[in-house]
Every structure is written in C-alpha cells, then in structure tokens.
Structure 1
Amino acid sequence: MASKSIKPAAKTVKKALSLKAISTAEHHRVLRAQHETEAAQDYCEAIGDLLDAGVEARVGRIAERFGLSHVTVSRVVRRLATEGFVLAQPRQPLGLTARGKSLATEAKRRHVLVLDFLRALGVDERTAQFDAEGIEHHVSSPTLKAMARFLDR
C-alpha cells in the first residue's frame, strides 16, 4: 500500500520542482530588475531626507551616510543626474527633480511601512532598521498592501 502512495507523491514532487524552476527563474528576473533601481531609490531617499531636515545635500554627506567613498557617490550621482532623478552642479548642493522627488517619496513610504511592520512583529529596533533597508526594495505591492492592512493603514 505504501508503494502506491509513493508514485503519486513522486509525480507531485516532480511537478513541484518544475514549477519551482519556473518561479525561481521569474524570481531572479524580478530581483535583477529591482537591483537596478535600488541605488536610485536609496540616493533619492537620502537626498530627500537631508533636504527635509533643512540640511544641504552634499556628496560628502551621502558618502558618509552610506559608508562609501566620495568618488563612488559622485559617479552614482552623475548617473542619477543623467537619468533625470538628481539635480547636480559642481560644488553645489544636490537637489531632486520631480522624478527624483517622486521616487524618494515612494521609497520613504515603503521603508516606513516595512519598518513599522517589523516593529509590530516584535523585531528589535536595530534588526528592524537593518532588515527594512533590504526588504523595502524587494517586497511586492500586494505584500505591501497586506502589511498596511495588518497595521490598519
């Protein structure tokens, strides 16, 4: 009797593995796309945070915040300026375009929602801060909506 149940189980496992392969490929495709926008989200959010605090957004401040070199941050800022997110002029404070402000606002919203959700689950503050930074870039809209419902937002 046990052998009869093994065959259907084996077929189920085989089917699940083939479905997993498809979903894994899709998952990696989505992750690659998300990684492409992570830097733009982080930089726009950081610039927006500084501007909201009434502090000049300078490359040095961004470099310090991210623990990166001035040169690395300058390169990313140049790219983001070319892509239409950041306003950057030599030796001037950074600013955000309308597109950059929109991205910063959305990134901040996602960050706060994920952070509040992790806190509501009882995750300690340091871990919640650390984890929220990664999760915010990879969580889907349906999951964000579920988190918001959970938090009654």
Structure 2
Amino acid sequence: MDDYLEQILNLIEEKGYARPVDISKKLGISQASVTNMIRRLDTEGLVKHEKYRGTILTEKGRTIANAIITRHDTLTEFLRLFEIDEDTIYADVEGMEHHISKATLGVITTLVEELKSNSEVLTRLKSKL
C-alpha cells in the first residue's frame, strides 16, 4: 500500500494526475493489480478515483504519502552520508522503509542532522568502515 501511495503522490506532482496505467508502469505490476489496490485505497478513504479521469489523494492519503516519502528520503540520506553506492542504497531503502519503526526513524533522523553538522564525527565514523 505504501508503494502505491508514494507513486500516486509522485505522479501527481510530476504530471498533475495519476492514472492506473502510469502507476502500473512505475511499480512494474499489472494494471489489474493497480485497479484492485486503488479500489481498496478508495474504500479506506486514502484516494478518490474517477474512472477515466485518474486518482487523487485525500488529505489523509496525502499525509501518509508525505510521511512515506520523508521516511524514504531520510534513509537514503543516511546511507549516502557513508558513500554507499546508489544501487545498494536503493535496494536497502526499499527493504528497510517498510519495516522501520517511528522510534528508529527518529533516531536515524537525529543522526543524519548531527552528522551533517559535525563533519569530524562523520569522517571518524567513515574511517572505521
């Protein structure tokens, strides 16, 4: 569900709308699977879908999608601090973002902020890897 909300928001920001065919292409899954999930998201009050017009996020859906993107960006930024290659970062973040707790994300967010403002500590940590 997170991946769908994230892609819907990305498509809306990129194109102004999100159609099942576009979501399907972005996620690499069938259009039928997307249509089923959109129905579920609509039932849960996270999106509004109009046949032949596209899908938009409700306020609740947008809030969740923004939190998902923030989580993804924070984890990506954290791993980039240690100069991990982008393919590894992508694969790791895709796995981690679905399982990380709010508490752990808070710790990582604090670490990112501190490490960005204290290059000596970051350099020392990177030298130990």
Same fold (TM over 0.5): yes
Larger Rg: 1 or 2?
A: 1
Alignment match, 2:112: 151
Greater helix share, 1 or 2?
1
Shift of 1:122: 2.3
TM-score (norm 1): 0.70
Q: How many residues align?
A: 114
Identity %: 34
1:83 matched to 2:39: no
- Give distance in 1, aligned partners of 2:50 and 2:33: 16
1:126 counterpart letter in structure 2: D
Give the alignment of 1:4-153 within 5 angstroms: 39=1, 41-152=2-113
TM-score (norm 2): 0.83
5+ residue gaps, structure 2, are 115-129
Shift of 1:146: 1.5
- Give distance in 2, aligned partners of 1:127 and 1:53: 25
SS state at 2:50 partner? coil
Shift of 1:56: 2.2
5+ residue gaps, structure 1, are 1-38
Q: Runs of 4 or more off by more than 3 Å in structure 1?
A: none
CA-to-aligned-CA distance 1:26-65 (integer Å, 9 cap, x gap): xxxxxxxxxxxxx1x2111111111112342110010011
2:13 counterpart letter in structure 1: D
1:87 counterpart letter in structure 2: K
Alignment match, 2:118: none
**Alignment root-mean-square deviation, CA:** 1.3
